[in-house]
Amino acid sequence: MHKPAEPTLIQRTGFLYFPLALVSRLPYAMMVIGVLTLVVSARGSVELGGLNSAAVGLGVACFGPFIGAAADRYGQRPVLLIVGAANSVMLGFLAWVAFSDLPIAWVFLASFLSGATAPQTSPMSRSRLVTIVKTELPPVKRPRTLSNILAYESAADEVIFVFGPVFVGLLATTMGAWAPIVGAAVLTLIFVTAFALHRTGSPERTAGASIGEVAPSSELFRPGLIVTVIGIFAVGVFFGSALTSLTSFMRDRGDAESAGLFYGVMGVGSAICAIGVAALPERFSLRTRWPIFAAIIVVGGVLLQFAHDIPSMMLALAVQGIGIGPLLVTLYSFGALRSPSGRSATVMTLLGTSLMVGQSAAAAITGVLADGRGTAAALVMPLAAASLALTVGVVNFLITPRDRRLDPPQDR
């Protein structure tokens, strides 16, 4: 008799899951830069654009964790179907109201509601895959498979968060500043709905645990997880400040709509390096990777201070890209390994929320600096964000036991 073949991740998800999960998170990554581009074009102010991006982040911050907690309790499918439909409506409303004669307060409201209804497909995808690995695959396969999927998911996020703005730039320059937000609404309606209906979204609880196995909420406040959340927040600050300062840089040259296209330069090395993290040896531990990758971003941030033309700007962004992708992989790996039992969707949504909040807050602050003190002042923000990531990485290095590597599920 032949021994039954051991189950694999692909058998459980199907091949179509991965492109579906990739495209369904694109609208989320388009929102901040899309709102920035929309409002700058419609209302003529980088400051107002940044503040509306911050309103998106505030909406995500207020409601994102509750969406994750609802998914842990009721299942991802009904939650995603409801918020996906609501988000499509809110994005459409935002695209209309920005160019209307209504006061700017209505634009702020629409931005906030767009963030509040963001579907959170990226953390939902992580939660699904982590749950499948931990509950359905043979124990011997779990550590390496978990490492691979976390590397893939972080690389996918990196690709989307870098090329989302490129897509925004393409739509804005070819069709108008309204097009990215309308496009995000259409993509949400189609692909988030498909993601919700995928067979991996059917379990009643994405954490795969019964009520009795769900860890108390106090487990979410462990020092290791708090430090990880702060690290993700710093990455979000980097994304938002780099994007907004680049928009100001290009506006000085009369071409603000092209900022998203030039921002894609950072994505090439970033995506390649993020995918390559899975091949790094285990002896190069997570606790060591964090400060090293953050230090590379700091170097790029220093180069940014001397960027006075487009080639030097592209060089600085390329250097930062080498560090930002692997750092994102490292942070999400810590998040997955430190998730309390039954709280997978909550933790992943919390990390995604922190990323968006950091991005939105930085967009607002950087926009104010750009309008009030000029592009040179705005370019300091990405360096400050990188320095914060490095500082928190050093703290994490000190509080993480020396012998922990890539696959200790008990590490919290």
- Contacts of residue 353, defined as CB under 8 A and 6 or more positions apart, other chains included, come to 60, 61, 64, 65, 68, 120
Q: Looking at residue 114, what is its pLDDT?
A: 93
Q: Is 405 a member of any domain?
A: no
For helices 26-43 and 179-187, the axis angle rounded to 10 degrees is 160
Q: pTM value?
A: 0.75
Total domains present in the chain? 1
pLDDT band at 227 (very low <50, low <70, confident <90, very high): very high
Q: Is 286 a member of any domain?
A: yes
Is residue 411 over pLDDT 70? no
Amino acid at 34: G
Give the three-class secondary structure for 204. coil
More confident residue, 365 or 220: 365
Q: Is 13 a member of any domain?
A: no
Instruction: State how far the Cα of 266 lies from the Cα of 317, in Å rounded to an integer.
Output: 5
Q: Is 331 a member of any domain?
A: yes
Q: What are phi and psi of 11, to 5 degrees?
A: -60, -35
Is residue 127 over pLDDT 70? yes
Q: Looking at residue 85, what is its pLDDT?
A: 94
Mean pLDDT computed over 46-65 = 83
The overall average pLDDT reported for the chain is: 81
More confident residue, 22 or 268: 22
DSSP string, 42-86: HH--HHHHHHHHHHHHHHHHHHHHHHHHHHHHH-HHHHHHHHHHH
Give yes or no for a contact between 372 and 196, defined as CB atoms under 8 angstroms apart: no
pLDDT band at 126 (very low <50, low <70, confident <90, very high): confident
Q: Looking at residue 281, what is its pLDDT?
A: 74
For helices 46-74 and 344-373, the axis angle rounded to 10 degrees is 180
Q: Looking at residue 112, what is its pLDDT?
A: 94
Mean pLDDT computed over 48-67 = 84
Q: Is 10 a member of any domain?
A: no
pLDDT band at 6 (very low <50, low <70, confident <90, very high): low
Is residue 405 over pLDDT 50? no
Alpha helices in 219-309 (DSSP H): 223-251, 259-263, 265-276, 286-304
Residues 130-169 pLDDT 10s = 788 877 777 777 777 776 777 777 777 767 766 777 777 7
Eight-class DSSP state of 25: T
Instruction: State how far the Cα of 187 lies from the Cα of 11, in Å rounded to an integer.
Output: 27
Q: Looking at residue 282, what is its pLDDT?
A: 72
CATH no. for residue 203?
1.20.1250.20
- Contacts of residue 314, defined as CB under 8 A and 6 or more positions apart, other chains included, come to 262, 265
Residues 164-188 pLDDT 10s = 777 777 888 788 888 889 999 999 9
Give yes or no for a contact between 21 and 195, defined as CB atoms under 8 angstroms apart: yes
More confident residue, 175 or 205: 175
Is residue 3 over pLDDT 70? no
- The domain in which residue 316 lies consists of 20-399
Record the tokens describing residue 73, joined without a space: 């309790």
Is residue 218 over pLDDT 50? yes
